[in-house]
Structure 1
Amino acid sequence: MDVQLASSLAEMTIDMVSQPDVAQTLDTVVQNAVQATAADGAGVLLIRPGQVVQTAAASDEVVRRAEALQSACGEGPCLQAIWSHDTFLVRDTRADERWPRWAAGVAELGWRCILGVRLFTKQTTIGALNLFSQSVDAFDPDDVDVAEIFGQHASLALMAAQEDAGLRAAIGAKHLIGQAQGILMERYGIDADRAFAVLRRHSQDSNVKLRTVAEQVIETRRLPEQRTG
């Protein structure tokens, strides 16, 4: 890798990790992926709870349609990159026979060469970076190497963004629960531990998240009624 390319990737990494939330990090990943490679478009598939793979970002609508097609068919290089923990290249969608249903559909969208790169950390697979080109055999071995290196940087940026979002959500939930505790303490003359126990019991009995119970208490200034029967 030459010095100029290394410097460019470093700048892109700083750009990705500097975004304020997951959505903007994803948008920056696909924008920078196109700049870093010979791609005409890029997208990101992420693994959601339950091992469901969903489109999380796309550089344009045609990319989004191609990614949706891959999910609908249940096959393609980007899904394979996730499940097989490897990189997969389709040199020509009209000639590749590994994923016939997907290849036929994506070729009709105008995409002829596609590269699927796994996004992962040491702990887990996050999803896949998908690079699309309108030209046959658009990605040479150097492009594949760059895409894989870029994918490693993008993985770290996305993981950091997700962890930050989780921390923000946890802090927000803790603040709401504290508010709800204060309301119950004042209304019923109980201490903080007792107020928390009441919230938790109501959450368990109602099969409702503790944060949701706290929000209801804050809104109504009392415990919500439990459904019976």
Structure 2
Amino acid sequence: MNDALPQAYELSGVAGRMLSGLLTEDDASKAVQSLSYVLKDSIPNSAGAGASIIHPRGRSESTGATDTVVLGADKLQYRFGEGPCLSAWAEQRPIIIQDIREEIRWPTWTAAVADLPLRSVLSAPLTTGRRKIGALKVYSPLPLSFDDTSVFLIERLASPVAVLLRHMRDREAAQRMSEELAEALANRDMIAKAQGILMERMNLNSQEALEVLLARSRGESTPLHDVARDILREATRE
């Protein structure tokens, strides 16, 4: 049996156990950071690991990086718009750099990371279905650190990490939407109550009360819902 298979089974098993618990976490970065340490410890010669999240409009960010070298190398990729993680994401295939000092595919990035303690890079795409989420990566300070076995192992973990990020991001988006909706409804209710107070105080109709609120909002350069909140506070003190 291929020696990589037991490692892959163990890696997938650890990832599966972590996923079952980490899916309840509110912070996707913490979850992916835990899995990044699993990746770092599972692939021989790895000194650091992490994930790059590529948003649909091209904005990139690192999440779950195990150390500052990973973060520094990633930030340079995002700054120059080139590098192994961005290529793994764009081309949807694993990317290996055997020696950064001899690499010619990303000259600006490789020159920028020349002073960092890394020589080899392995990156694999994070994809679920048709959703291209980003890329997973490991770094090594030694040249020629990664091979086909390393690719096999990183791909075994890339799949559950992609699923984790998809679910966490979807849940966080839904939570944000729910919070924003709740806030909007609360603001609407405050404005309606403030209108009612002004209608009673000043013998106004609904439209006239709203115009008073709007005029105060413009005059004080204050959001309308904050003006309404002040009126409600004033009413409770009377």
Q: Number of residue pairs matched?
A: 205
**Are 2:12 and 2:157, in contact at CA under 8 Å, matched by a contact in 1?**
no
Unaligned runs of 5+ in 1: 207-212, 223-229
Q: Of 45, 51, 55, which residue of structure 1 is paired with 2:52?
A: 45
Point out the structure with max Rg over C-alpha: 2
CA pair 105-181 structure 1, distance change in 2 beyond 3 A: closer
* In the alignment, structure 1 residue 62 sits paired with structure 2 residue 75: no
Q: TM-score when scaled to structure 2?
A: 0.74
Aligned to 1:23: 29
* In the alignment, structure 1 residue 101 sits paired with structure 2 residue 108: yes
Q: TM-score when scaled to structure 1?
A: 0.77
Aligned to 2:174: 167
CA pair 146-13 structure 1, distance change in 2 beyond 3 A: farther
Q: Of 145, 150, 156, which residue of structure 1 is paired with 2:152?
A: 145
**Are 1:180 and 1:217, in contact at CA under 8 Å, matched by a contact in 2?**
no
CA pair 16-147 structure 1, distance change in 2 beyond 3 A: farther
CA pair 145-218 structure 1, distance change in 2 beyond 3 A: farther
Identity of aligned residues (%): 24
Aligned to 2:235: none
Partner Cα separation in structure 1 for residue 150 and residue 10 of structure 2:
15
Partner Cα separation in structure 2 for residue 220 and residue 142 of structure 1:
65
**Are 1:183 and 1:217, in contact at CA under 8 Å, matched by a contact in 2?**
no
Partner Cα separation in structure 2 for residue 127 and residue 5 of structure 1:
20
Q: Of 62, 79, 88, which residue of structure 2 is paired with 1:81?
A: 88
Offset, 1:113: 0.7
CA pair 6-50 structure 1, distance change in 2 beyond 3 A: closer
CA pair 186-45 structure 1, distance change in 2 beyond 3 A: same
User: Counterpart of 2:99 in 1: which secondary structure?
Assistant: coil
User: Counterpart of 1:94 in 2: which secondary structure?
Assistant: helix
* In the alignment, structure 1 residue 72 sits paired with structure 2 residue 86: no
Partner Cα separation in structure 2 for residue 118 and residue 214 of structure 1:
46
